[in-house]
């Protein structure tokens, strides 16, 4: 698959058997179907960045991430698809490349490794230009695609969201997707962000900073379903993913969307939602990250 066709995204209802509580609808927006690598929200955060890189005559995109970053691999593939060079500045040094980094390289991304301390300068454009001084015409995309083009691009996910939904659930990493969508969607939709790391509450302020003044309303974060921290999981979560797949045929990823759906199920069990709620859960992709647990999953 070497194109991204947004018509591949479908809305899939979840069979009542998965939950017993009364709500009017529980659906999943399958953005994971857009592309196996440039998946879900990553495409939306990248698409305007890439458009502006091309329109501005930039020849090279530079971005940032750790060894397991979905954003890094999505950028490598998207840059290749659009015929632009890409550089990935990687946090930490690796004796053995992770599968993600191998794929980045294979997609033509040049990797520059920096220590965790150096990486802290990731917002310093002077430092970035020095690091990549053998390239000119650099278009810089911050870690996680977390810039204004990323937010506005993520807002375009609104085209898949019907007016009738009362609750929109999604996973939160940098908060870029939630911010962009909140800024674009009508305030009447309640947005629920699920944070897959410990102490994710700090994100609240960060998100609020980038929300338009009339949009800082009707959204909340849940950080109690982190399963020990970012990238951490347990048997319970794996069993949950397998059971969810058996019932719905929807594969979840181990880092983000599984923790969100687990949280949704608990909220349903606790009667968090009113009986007339129409809930849309956004599947933001990330399935490539399941390579580390593929032996434990039935898909
Ligand atoms: C990156 C990612 C997120 C987080 O998106 P942000 O815009 O950084 O909040 C959520 N889900 C999946 C599957 C991701 O890969």
Q: Among the residues of 82-192, which ranges form H helices?
A: 99-106, 116-119, 125-131, 148-155, 176-184
Contact 84, 59 (CB under 8 A): yes
What is the three-class DSSP state of 249?
coil
Spacing, Cα 204 to ligand 1 middle (Å): 15
Q: For the segment 91-147, what is each residue's pLDDT rounded down to a tens digit?
A: 999 999 999 999 999 999 999 999 999 999 999 999 998 988 888 789 999 999 999
pLDDT of residue 277: 98
pTM: 0.96
Domains observed in the chain = 6-40+147-296 (3.40.50.1100), 41-145 (3.40.50.1100)
Placement of tokens 């849309």 in the chain: 280
pLDDT of residue 36: 87
Query: Residue 282 — φ and ψ, nearest 5°?
Result: -90, 120
- % of the chain with per-residue pLDDT over 90: 89
pLDDT of residue 137: 86
* Closest of 252, 272, 271, 277 to residue 262, by C-alpha: 252
Nearest residue (by CA) to ligand 1, atom 13, is: 286
CA 193/CA 173 separation, integer angstroms: 9
**Mean pLDDT score across all residues of the chain:** 95
Q: What pairing do the DSSP bridges indicate for beta strands 25-30 and 11-13?
A: antiparallel
User: In which band, very low, low, confident or very high, does the pLDDT at 1 lie, cut at 50, 70 and 90?
Assistant: very low
Q: Is the pLDDT of residue 245 over 60?
A: yes
Q: Is the pLDDT of residue 231 over 90?
A: yes
**Strand arrangement, sheet containing 85-91:** 110-114, 85-91, 60-65, 138-140
Confirm or reject: Cβ of 256 under 6 Å from ligand 1.
yes
pLDDT of residue 275: 96
Strands (E), 45-91: 60-65, 85-91
pLDDT of residue 134: 84
Atom index in ligand 1 nearest the CA of residue 174 equals: 8
CA 39/CA 47 separation, integer angstroms: 12
Contact 144, 176 (CB under 8 A): yes
CA 87/CA 64 separation, integer angstroms: 8
CA-CA distances (angstroms) from residue 132 to 73, 87, 106, 135, 140?
A: 19, 8, 19, 6, 11
Atom index in ligand 1 nearest the CA of residue 285 equals: 13
CA-CA distances (angstroms) from residue 45 to 102, 265, 292?
A: 23, 28, 25
Confirm or reject: Cβ of 128 under 6 Å from ligand 1.
no
Spacing, Cα 54 to ligand 1 middle (Å): 24
pLDDT of residue 238: 98
């Amino acid at each position: 698959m070497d194109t991204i066709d947004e018509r591949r995204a479908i809305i899939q209802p979840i069979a009542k058997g998965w939950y017993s509580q009364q709500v009017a609808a529980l659906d999943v927006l399958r953005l994971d179907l857009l592309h196996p690598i440039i998946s879900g929200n990553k495409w939306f955060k990248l698409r305007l960045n890439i458009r502006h890189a091309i329109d501005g005559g930039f020849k090279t995109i530079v971005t940032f991430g750790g060894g397991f970053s979905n954003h890094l691999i999505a950028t490598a593939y998207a840059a290749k698809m659009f015929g632009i060079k890409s550089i990935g500045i990687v946090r930490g040094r690796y004796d053995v490349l992770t599968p993600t980094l191998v794929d980045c390289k294979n997609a033509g991304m040049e990797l520059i490794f920096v220590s965790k301390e150096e990486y802290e300068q990731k917002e310093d454009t002077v430092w970035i230009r020095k690091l990549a001084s053998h390239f000119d015409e650099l278009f810089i995309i911050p870690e996680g695609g977390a810039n204004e083009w990323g937010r506005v691009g993520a807002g375009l996910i609104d085209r898949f969201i019907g007016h009738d939904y009362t609750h929109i659930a999604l996973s939160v990493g940098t908060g870029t997707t939630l911010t962009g969508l909140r800024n674009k969607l009508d305030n009447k939709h309640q947005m629920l962000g699920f944070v897959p790391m410990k102490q994710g509450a700090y994100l609240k302020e960060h998100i609020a900073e980038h929300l338009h003044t009339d949009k800082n309303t009707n959204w909340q974060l849940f950080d109690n379903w982190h399963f020990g921290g970012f990238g951490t999981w347990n048997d319970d979560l794996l069993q949950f993913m397998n059971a969810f797949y058996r019932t719905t045929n929807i594969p979840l990823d181990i880092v983000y969307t599984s923790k969100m759906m687990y949280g949704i199920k608990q909220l349903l069990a606790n009667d968090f939602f009113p009986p007339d709620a129409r809930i849309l859960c956004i599947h933001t992709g990330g399935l490539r990250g399941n390579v580390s647990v593929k032996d434990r999953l039935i898909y």
